[in-house]
Amino acid sequence: MSRYRRARGSTFFFTVVLADRSSTLLVDHVDRLRRICRTVQQRRPFETVAICILPDHLHAIWSLPDHDVNFSSRWNLIKGGFSRGIEPQERSASKLLKREKGIWQRRYWEHAIRDDADLERHVDYIHFNPVKHGLVKRVRDWSFGQGILPLDWGGDMRDVSGQFGE
């Protein structure tokens, strides 16, 4: 069994991805996802600092209660709760053996937020992600997120020219 180093601290950035990167399941069932997140949050408290739900993945920043870094159980409950009632996707033998529906990638990416500057960078990343993926021209036009930024943050991409790398 693999050993994965887990981040320590109380505020974390996450990227959680569907198995099928061409899927729109998350925005198609966004109310279901929000309901599951609220239910898990009531059972295992955490604060959502910022979140952006895209068609095939989501980014979130959570603050966990003091002395609690067990975000993996929370994600397990969210992913499992969301998957229940959704038709199974095409699955590998390994996913069938583990009784997985093939909806989510098995793992997710987490990053412990180090300081205020790191938090600011990750909040900016979350909010700009729909523009980066070409889903909208302005951050404020994406309705599948929440966070701490004003409505006019990020401006209007129609006013921006030039080449930008990642």
Two structure tokens written together for 61: 């920043």
Asked whether residue 63 is domain-assigned, the answer is yes
Prediction pTM value: 0.79
- The domain total for the chain is 1
Domain-embedded: residue 111: yes
- Number of H helices and E strands in the chain, helices first, is 5, 5
Residue 90: CB atoms within 10 A of its CB come to 8
Q: What is the DSSP letter of 162?
A: S
Instruction: For residue range 20-41, list pLDDT tens digits in order.
Output: 899 999 999 999 999 999 999 9
Give me the amino acid identity at 97.
Answer: L
The rounded distance, in Å, linking the Cα atoms of 44 and 109 is 20
What is the distance of C-alpha 151 from the center of its chain?
Answer: 20
Instruction: Write out pLDDT tens, residues 43-68.
Output: 999 999 999 999 999 999 999 998 89
Write out the residue range of the structural domain in which residue 109 sits: 11-115
Q: d(Cα 43, Cα 36) in Å, to the nearest integer?
A: 11
Q: What is the mean pLDDT of the chain?
A: 81
Confidence bin at 146 (pLDDT 50/70/90):
low
- The CATH number assigned to the domain holding 106 equals 3.30.70.1290
pLDDT band at 108 (very low <50, low <70, confident <90, very high): very high
